[in-house]
Structure 1
Amino acid sequence: MKIIILTGKFGMGHMTAALAVKQQIDNSHFNADVEVIDWLDYISPRLANKYYSFFHFLVNKGRKIYNIRYRLLENKKTDQKPDLNAIFKKCFTKLMDEKKPDIIISTLPVCSQFMSMYKEKTGSCIPLITCVTDITGHSEWINKNTDFYFVGSPSVTDKFISKGVLPDKIFETGLPVRLEFLNNDFFKSTNSKDLRHILIMGGGLGMLPKTFNFYESLELLPNTKVTIITGKNNGLYERLKDRYQNITVLGYVDNVYDYMKQADIIITKPGGITTFEAIYAEVPILALNPSLQQEIYNAQYIQKMGIGTIIHGNSKQCLEEIEKMLDYCHLDYYKSNIQKLKGQLSKYKLTKVLEMTICEGNTLANNGFKNIYQPIREDYNINEKISFNIR
């Protein structure tokens, strides 16, 4: 069986999700050839580099424009056509002819859109599974020829249903994380109460505060060790490395789970995948000044579920929030909520849904899925009410 996972590097969340899904399938008990394809890189590596550079520029310098576009399309009609579809749809047909997949899994909206168009045009019965990589009900994820949706929370399910998606097509699997995060024995406390560990991450694009005041404040925290992962922000890495005695600065790393293992709290831009990695690592989250619209929704989810809080403001206000969370009474509260949520997610593993979906193959006989997986909605013990409506 040939499985293609389509993705892209708009940030690293989509690609990280794709690699996590591949890892979980490879570790499952059935024989499947799984390939992850960066859709833009497949079309043209040169074009991909230009697109990704522009996206990086947009989220760093043009966030207002990005958010305006996001909101305009958020509650528009579903089954949206991808940008430049007249040009790229031929490339997609070439991809399908070349790879001849039995199943398509998409972690990027545009890939789901192209696959839906391909199925419409050709009458193909190849199953399309869309894995939504943020806690969002954005219309760009919804296409009429998608067979299954993997989503992170009941709020996304509710939003999708309100937009016409059949409940039987939606499974609240949580967002996919690497196997290292699914090892329940891996994350055991190695810290003493005499020394606290803070992990700061800016995501794949390294979107972290640029002013020294923030880091100087962290340096002054007593009995605290700080590790900063700057991702691909090489400029910030060069500015911060070896500057502070109690702060360790790293660039892009592949073993984030090693650092989460030792952390008491994580300060980060609240990407969807990072949020669920923290849940599985049982580490409370301080969502750092969320500015992109999907980050804002992810941060709302963090706060509503009681697994962390949001930091807004200057370095002094941030420091106050950090010190408040590091109080062990607060840590216990957040960790208790995380453990409840993690316990629910562990009952409905993405791999179980994937295995059942793949075993069903092209028949898509999913009548039994709802009865098995829908109870997760009733099992949530934490009140989650998030509105995605733009006012």
Structure 2
Amino acid sequence: MQLKISIMGIDGYKEGVTIERVLLLSMGFGTGHNAAAKALKIHFEQLPGVKAEAVDLLELIPNTFHPLLQSGYLGMLNKFPSFYHYLYDWTHQSRVVRYVSSELIEKMGWSIRKKLTTVFSEVEPTRIVSTHPFGLLMCPSGWEDVPTVGVLTDYELHPIWLARAPKVLCVPKCLLRQNQLERIQWRTGLELCETGLPIRREFYESVSMEEARLQLGLDLKRPVVLIMGGGTGLGPMEHLVKELSPLKHIQFIVLTGNNRSLYERLENRYACPHIRIEGFRDDIPLWMSAADLLVTKPGGVTISEAIAKRLPMFLFEAFPGQEQANQEYLIHHRVAVATRPSTIRVQIRKFFSPDFKREKIRDRFQPLMAPDAARQIVSETFKAKVPFMQTL
């Protein structure tokens, strides 16, 4: 199945080469895995001699079960976060539970694997890139002959990635110490690469704060605080806006995403000169360029975008598991703090006080930034070799 191709780095190919076919696997729990796959697909398709196909494994589940599975996942996070925490923690700490979980996922994925087998026969991939650890567990037999690359979309290396380790695993910057990287590589045989997380390239485009505010019709002199709850407007958004509304010297921009009911409630109750309510926007890079501070849930994509813009963060209601790990990563690197409605007003007053060193926070983002993440992942994908299966 592996095709012969001659590659001159990733900036150019020799004429007459055989096409490389890259299959990108994701799983649409949340938005991060699919967003990373889409960002990579754009970069792959810019190269001559390369075709890329992105597949959300959830879309392969029968229509009657897909919405139930998606809503069940979100419902568990919202209503039973402690239960999700136990599941996540057990698979993180217990090798036995991880093994049982990976075997269970493989067996329960029969409906996905059946359709994925058809996808494999149609695409005939020469490379597999997965942005979700379940992607490799779901692959049909024969995938061992294809070089595989895993891409983290959160700021934690969950051991489930090692249940069926890819040839190469791309991780965020400054996530692991050098001795940790070496130990994992020695124990598993996989190659760990600190590429950073792939996001839309617009977030690394330089736009001055003044220019962004002019384009968005914001006051150039007053501070700007951006409040986001993800694509679905999750979290105590109304409570946060209520607590912040007395701070009239600050411009608050509240993005409610696709949550129309939240938008209408906030618009009816809090819309005033210093509070601007917005629904879904596709120009988030511009809003982040205009802001002094971001108040958000610590989703992997959102915080990666804020890192690219060197935008300090206040983080609220991190879900157990990935979001909690994301929050700990940012706090460890001193570019964010945890907040809640009862403390946010005091924290924001302190943040904008004359003696607070806000520029120092922006400087701390530098080692975390990954402007070439997608390009590096593409490069590592083509460097990956067919796994060598050794027998005794």
Task: Find out whether 1:272 has 2:283 as its counterpart.
Answer: no
Distance between the aligned counterparts of 1:252 and 1:159, measured in 2? 39
Q: Please, which moves more after superposition, 71-80 or 145-154? A: 71-80
1:1-391 alignment runs, 5 A limit: 1-27=20-46, 29-77=47-95, 80-81=102-103, 82=105, 84-115=108-139, 118=140, 121-122=141-142, 124-156=144-176, 158=180, 161-162=183-184, 166=188, 169-183=191-205, 185-186=206-207, 188-190=209-211, 194-210=221-237, 212-244=238-270, 245=272, 246-312=274-340, 315-327=341-353, 329-342=356-369, 345-346=370-371, 349-358=373-382, 360=383, 362=385
Unaligned runs of 5+ in 2: 1-19, 214-218
Q: Which has the larger radius of gyration?
A: 2
Instruction: Indicate the SS of the match to 2:257.
Output: coil
Residues 1:361 and 1:153: Cα distance change in structure 2 (over 3 Å):
closer
Residues 1:351 and 1:19: Cα distance change in structure 2 (over 3 Å):
same
Q: Is the 8 A contact 1:161 1:167 kept in 2?
A: no
> Match of 1:291, as an amino acid?
F
Instruction: Indicate the SS of the match to 2:261.
Output: helix
Q: Quote the offset at 1:204 in angstroms.
A: 2.6
Q: Is the 8 A contact 2:148 2:381 kept in 1?
A: no
Distance between the aligned counterparts of 1:32 and 1:123, measured in 2? 19
Residues 1:213 and 1:154: Cα distance change in structure 2 (over 3 Å):
closer
Instruction: Indicate the SS of the match to 2:366.
Output: helix
Instruction: Indicate the SS of the match to 1:228.
Output: strand
Normalising by structure 1, report the TM-score. Answer: 0.81
Distance between the aligned counterparts of 2:376 and 2:281, measured in 1? 29
Q: Quote the offset at 1:285 in angstroms.
A: 1.0
Distance between the aligned counterparts of 1:253 and 1:335, measured in 2? 25
Deviations 1:15-45 (A, max 9, x none): 1111111223334x44322222111113334
Q: Quote the offset at 1:156 in angstroms.
A: 4.5
Q: Quote the offset at 1:88 in angstroms.
A: 3.3
Q: Is the 8 A contact 1:103 1:127 kept in 2?
A: yes
> Match of 1:250, as an amino acid?
E
Distance between the aligned counterparts of 1:123 and 1:289, measured in 2? 39
Superposition RMSD in Å: 2.7
Q: Quote the offset at 1:172 in angstroms.
A: 1.0
Q: Is the 8 A contact 2:312 2:361 kept in 1?
A: yes
Residues 1:295 and 1:187: Cα distance change in structure 2 (over 3 Å):
farther
Q: Quote the offset at 1:187 in angstroms.
A: 5.0
Distance between the aligned counterparts of 1:156 and 1:264, measured in 2? 29
Distance between the aligned counterparts of 1:164 and 1:240, measured in 2? 53
Q: Percent identity?
A: 24
Distance between the aligned counterparts of 1:113 and 1:18, measured in 2? 17
Distance between the aligned counterparts of 2:327 and 2:284, measured in 1? 20
